[in-house]
Copies of this chain bind each other. A is one copy, B any other.
Amino acid sequence: MLKLTKRTEYGLIALTHLAQRQGEVVPAREIGDHYPIPRRLLAEVLKDLCNADLVASTRGAHGGYALVRPAQELSLGEIVSALEGAPTVSSCGDENLLHGENSCDVQPICPIRSPLVKIKDKIWQMMLTTSLASLAEPHKPYRSLASQTQANGLVKSSIKSP
């Protein structure tokens, strides 16, 4: 359905949070306290972002994560790409990586491959020109609006849905 994974969404949320404290080192704990996101998952995502060099990590007691670039220079495309790979509209890769894994039987005569690549490029282009700042900005600066809502810690009570 053309949709992002939860990982990516969590990553974006975390990054917007970091963007508000740009330069500062923020522990994952704090982000987990503000948003009802499963802690471990958040940690997992932050780790991935760190491996992609979008955030820098500091270990130890006062450790945490910090944006490695200002939010204006961080594109949505980079983030998505780091968290779930570059967008692909068609199942086959876009150009020349066709022969190996993701080859499709239809490929030699596929009438829609080229057009779909163009669509993908447009989407990709759009994401590359959308900065993290423009995601975070249109919202009012909420510093501690949610810190009260669930100060008790774990919020994982409503994950199951029988």
Residue numbers of A with Cβ under 8 A of B are 1-4, 6, 9, 12-13, 16-17, 34-37, 76, 80, 84-85, 87-91, 94-96, 105-106, 108-112, 114-116, 118-119, 121-123, 125-127, 130, 134-136, 138-139, 142, 145-146, 148-152, 154-156, 158-160
Contact = CB atoms under 8 A, between A and B. Distances in A.
Nearest to A92: B9
Interface centre among A1, A84, A91, A127 (most CB of B within 10 A): A1
A138 B115 contact: yes
B89 A3 contact: yes
A147 B121 CA distance: 9
B139 A114 contact: yes
Nearest to A115: B135
